[in-house]
Amino acid sequence: MQIISPDKVIRGKDAWKKSLPEIVNISKFPMLLGRSSKTRSLRSIISKDLSQLNLKVYNCELEFDCCEDDLKRIYNLSVEQKCDSIIAAGGGKVLDAGKLLAEYLSVPCITVPLSASTCAGWTALGNIYTTEGKFVKDIKLKSCPKILICDHSFIKSAPKNTLSSGIADSLAKWYESSITSSSNQDGIIQQAIQISRVLRDQLFIEGEDAYNNPSEDNLAWSNIVEANTLTAGLIGGIGGEKCRTAAAHAIHNAITQIKSNKKPLHGEIVGVGILIQLRLEESKNNNKLANQSINQLVKFMKNLNLPTTISELGINVFENDNLQKIASFTFRKESEIHFLPFEFSKEDIIQVISKFESQKISI
């Protein structure tokens, strides 16, 4: 069975207002879940609108990234307050936490992305991290959210780097699915790959305009917001697991294990992972176009102020045994990197990353 999409997707400038009758139909005691102090004013608007409709809203905030400790604490609070839905409003980790809590409680989940940084508002997946932000595992859920509300008026206030991070994460759909699933004979999976190709092209064509001119009046911005939050999720829903992740996300998961002097966003790390994946394809799978793809990507990513090396993420791979740690976690048995359809070893990963970090990529 494939879990493809939310029951309802409400999108556009007034999506939140349009969604209110739908929410009233399914909930009387919602929990409004968030985290960042930067989104508190938006969540206050959401809470006020719900209260004016005579819903009893319980406001709750995550203390960390989506982690077991927070989930247990908020689960108990939800039970005490007899919450009958979870409204998750925030970035990807808040949306993941909301989906997981809703499943544990057997109540509807309503996702309200407050940035265009990921497709987490769409998917039937939740990533678990430690309190320090280290990736632990992903959990497949029984359903996508009941309602996804992509309100452009909310998202426009998000920092610019959340949009560029989302672009990098969305680009990974093509670079990962095209290598893992291109030989699959299933027509639906092939269609998902082609959607990811169209998505990639749109990101390249309109991404810089969207990044430089974040306005609801700019069609490029609206298109990229929905590309990141909606289309990227649809690809994984149609195409399945191998159309969602491969080396780029496996490398992301490994990099989160290392303490950084910055706090890079999910997509920023995934973008670096795409570049490393292409180098691995070049060296171990005879991908003769990999270098050309890397040059194109690096130029594009630099124009969006995205990091293009692990060092730019705030990590020196040549100290504290970091290179070995990253390679070991990337290559562990349950890693998605093994979706790649060619042979390679942990030592190959070490060699590729070492060479990648040692060289200056000039465009």
Mean pLDDT of 9-15: 96
What are 33-78's pLDDT values in tens digits? 999 899 999 999 999 999 999 999 999 999 999 999 999 999 999 9
Residue 363 in this model has a pLDDT that exceeds 70: no
Average pLDDT over residues 328-355: 96
pLDDT for position 232: 97
Can you give the pLDDT at residue 197?
97
Q: What are the structural domain ranges in the chain? A: 8-155, 160-358
Digit-coded pLDDT (tens) for 271-307: 999 999 999 999 999 999 999 999 999 999 999 999 9
> How high is the pLDDT of residue 241?
79
CATH number of the domain at 8-155, out of 3.40.50.1970, 1.10.10.60, 2.40.160.60, 2.60.40.1120?
3.40.50.1970
Superfamily designation of domain 160-358: Dehydroquinate synthase-like - alpha domain (1.20.1090.10)
For 140-170, the pLDDT digits (tens) are 999 999 999 999 999 999 999 999 999 999 9
Q: Is the pLDDT of residue 361 over 70?
A: no
Range name among 14-18, 199-203, 238-242 with the lowest pLDDT average: 238-242
Encode pLDDT of 238-247 as tens digits.
Answer: 998 777 789 9
Q: Rounded mean pLDDT of the chain?
A: 95
Q: Is a pLDDT exceeding 50 seen at residue 80?
A: yes
Q: pTM, whole model, 2 decimals?
A: 0.96
The reported pLDDT for the residue numbered 172 is: 97
The whole-number pLDDT of residue 159 equals 96
pLDDT of 360 over the 70 cut: no
* The predicted structure's pLDDT at residue 358: 87
Tell which phi-psi region holds residue 211, choosing left (phi > 0), alpha (psi between -120 and 50) or beta.
alpha
pLDDT band at residue 312, thresholds of 50, 70 and 90? very high
